[in-house]
Structure 1
Amino acid sequence: MSDPEETGSKMTPLARNALGVLVVSCVVLTALEFVIHRHAYFETEGRPLFFAVYGFAAFLIVVGGGVLLRKLVMRAPDYYDTQEDNDA
């Protein structure tokens, strides 16, 4: 793998701390998912990690829809080039 110093993807200390807090909170909430009893209305809501899987599926649908929408409305790369620019 390449060194982060070479690729220019060095994280700031604030970003590193924010990422650490996010990872720790995800681990804690995932562990609590198996301990806390939920009073679910539907049976599937009571299953462990249901909301995590449901949220991830929704994320994939939104991103996939965005990719399809981009292909539908994307303009040609030379859309803003004028005829004068092409002649010169």
Structure 2
Amino acid sequence: MTDPVDPDHKATPRADGKYAGERWFGWTSHPKAGAYTFIAIAVLSALLFGADFLVHRHEYLHIAEFPVFYALFGFASFAFVVLSGWPLRKLLGRPENYYEPETSSDD
């Protein structure tokens, strides 16, 4: 059975007072959820960084055998994509009043 939805299509609580996704995602409303998530990702990143020195690779390109090559390559690629948005906006952007109706002086 699905949860009832009001006519405005807003989420309504169930009979027990909780919303449908609160069982799985209720922890995200905790005040320190962001800090806990950041710490978990930092610990996972540190573990993977350390494990990268233990794995011996046989790569086609010798530069890829450098222990943190993939992390640095991924960061550089991400930074390139994000920073390429600035010149792309200059190239494709419209002026602020682009969608406003034109005013005519024909009275």
TM-score, with structure 2 as normaliser: 0.60
Question: Larger % of helix: which?
Answer: 1
Aligned with 2:84: secondary structure?
helix
Task: Structure 1: give runs of 5+ residues left out of the alignment.
Answer: 1-10
Q: Answer yes or no: is 1:82 the counterpart of 2:71.
A: no
Count matched residues.
74
2: distance between equivalents of 1:12 and 1:27? 25
State, as a whole percentage, how many aligned pairs show the same letter: 32
Q: Higher relative contact order at CA 8 Å, sep ≥6: structure 1 or structure 2? A: 1
User: Which residue of the partner structure matches residue 86 of structure 2?
Assistant: 67
* Structure-2 residue corresponding to 1:21: 40
Q: Cα RMSD (Å) of the superposition?
A: 1.9
Q: Which residue of 2 aligns with 1:46?
A: 65
Shift of 1:12: 3.5
d(CA) in 1 for partners of 2:34 and 2:87? Answer: 31
Q: What TM-score does the superposition give when structure 1 sets the normalisation length?
A: 0.70
Structure number with greater Rg is 2
Question: After TM superposition, where is structure 1 displaced by more than 6 Å over at least 4 residues in a row?
Answer: none
> What secondary structure is seen at the aligned counterpart in 1 of 2:46?
helix
Alpha-carbon separation, structure 2, partners of 1:38 and 1:14: 37
